[in-house]
Amino acid sequence: MTGRLAWTLAGLGVLLVLGGLGLSIAAGSEQDLVNLQRIASTFVFGVVGAVIATRHPRNPIGWIFCAVGIAGGLDSLSLGYAELWLAEGTGPDRVGETAAVYHDASWVPHVLLPTTFLLLLFPDGRLIGRRWRLIGMCAVAGVVGAFVQTVTVAGPVPDFPKVENPYGVSQATSDVLSLAYPVLFVGIVGSAVSLVLRFRRATTVQRQQIKWLALAGAVAAATVVVFVPLYDVVGDDIASLAILLSVMGLPIAAGIAILRHRLYDIDVVINRTLVYGALTATLAAAYLGSVLMLQLALSPLTEDSGLAIAGSTLAVAALFRPARGRIQAAVDRRFYRRRYDAAQTLEGFGARMRDQLDLDSLAGELSAVVRETMQPTHVSLWIRLP
């Protein structure tokens, strides 16, 4: 029964977003990457939420994701209806005005629901203690208050300047409602702190689960920091697409962690992310630096930059393998010290074994290497004599 309800909610969210897209097309609105973002967000949150709710119906995170998908669908539907109402003037005015107002405030449930409650309840859907109920209450009050304050701002609706907000209140009342944002801040910060404390107290399985979410959050934050200043350089579409893909990693990582699908692969994923992230940054800096230097060096001979670009490309290609090896060693040495020390121990043992002829010494060294690398409770070596 819960599985059917979860998949019904996910399907409803997709139908709503597709219906809103159809209304926008009928209104003659240009379709851009923002619409793709709405479709992708609704689909990913809805599907991941339905899978989690089906497997773990008592975990509220799955239902929160389903609610985020519904909110995204309503956002798309309200936008399409408001655009069609303004373009053709059909339909009740109050419905069109309400659609415009909801679209302006739809970021609250779509962004703040996963931001607060995912951090507070991840991964088992429970608070880490009774004292943290206050943080949960602050999160609920902050999200509701922020939505009400956004809906009741007097004056023209920001996304639809021709529409006057019919639900606007006085400035004094709006200022009182704005107090929800400090409460929301307490809820968000408290949720983040609770996740850190949960990681410190967690078992091995929960630590692996939190690592999945932390990795997705770090990638999303780094993508936003890198691509927001590059909007004018790489173009709005590319920057928005990169940010969209990184943000979509949050529900996917949460789903993998809660369902425990390939849970222990997270250490390999983090290792590869650190290595190839640092490698990409290093090669990009080397490429740009070499292009500038070669252009300056070749400017007295030719004004064509093709030679500098070709030379820089070859230099970066030659730098790839040695740079990757050095960065991999640095990452292992800094973040995976036990594995690095074990590899060094095995490498040294292999070198000594080629020159070791005494069987008793070799057996002793082998036992010592096993104790150092594997750290078992007991080591015994059985040698079959000829």
- What are the tens digits of pLDDT across the range 332-370? 666 555 555 555 555 665 666 666 555 666 666 666 666
**Residue 176 domain flag:** yes
Same domain, 153 and 133: yes
Question: Is pLDDT of 186 > 90?
Answer: yes
- Residues 85 and 150 both lie in one domain: yes
Q: Does residue 299 sit within a domain?
A: yes
107 shares a domain with 8: yes
Q: Give the chain's domain count.
A: 3
Q: Identify whether 190 is part of a domain.
A: yes
Say what the pLDDT of residue 369 is: 63
For residue 96, is pLDDT > 60?
yes
Same domain, 98 and 123: yes
Q: What is the pLDDT of residue 350?
A: 63
Query: Would you state the pLDDT for residue 182?
Result: 93
3-state DSSP of the chain: CHHHHHHHHHHHHHHHHHHHHHHHHHCCCCCCHHHHHHHHHHHHHHHHHHHHHHHCCCCHHHHHHHHHHHHHHHHHHHHHHHHHHHHHCCCCHHHHHHHHHHHHHCHHHHHHHHHHHHHHHCCCCCCCCHHHHHHHHHHHHHHHHHHHHHHCCCCEECCEEEEECCCCCCHHHHHHHCCHHHHHHHHHHHHHHHHHHHHHHCCHHHHHHHHHHHHHHHHHHHHHHHHCCCHHHHCHHHHHHHHHHHHHHHHHHHHHHHHCCCHHHHHHHHHHHHHHHHHHHHHHHHHHHHHHHHHHHHCCCCCCCHHHHHHHHHHHHHHHHHHHHHHHHHHHHHHCHHHHHHHHHHHHHHHHHCCCCCHHHHHHHHHHHHHHHHCCCCCCCCCCCC
The residue among 198, 229, 247 that closes a domain is: 198
Residue 2: predicted pLDDT: 81
Q: Is residue 210 part of a domain?
A: no
- Domain shared by 137 and 150, yes or no: yes
Confirm whether 211 is domain-assigned.
no
For the full predicted model, state whether its pTM sits above 0.75.
no
User: What domain range is 323 assigned to?
Assistant: 277-335
State which of 168, 198, 228 marks the end of a domain: 198
Which pLDDT belongs to residue 345? 57
Q: Please check whether residues 62 and 12 belong to one and the same domain.
A: yes
Domain identity same for 365 and 301: no
Q: Tell me: do 304 and 357 sit in the same domain.
A: no
The answer to whether residues 99 and 156 belong to one domain is yes
Is 327 contained in some domain? yes
Domain assignment present for residue 131? The answer is yes
- Are residue 71 and residue 107 in the same domain, yes or no? yes
Last residue of a domain, one of 166, 198, 230: 198
- pLDDT value at 81 more than 60: yes
Percent of the chain whose pLDDT exceeds 70: 76
85 and 193, same domain (yes or no):
yes
On whether both 191 and 290 belong to a single domain, the answer is no
Per-residue pLDDT, 145: 92
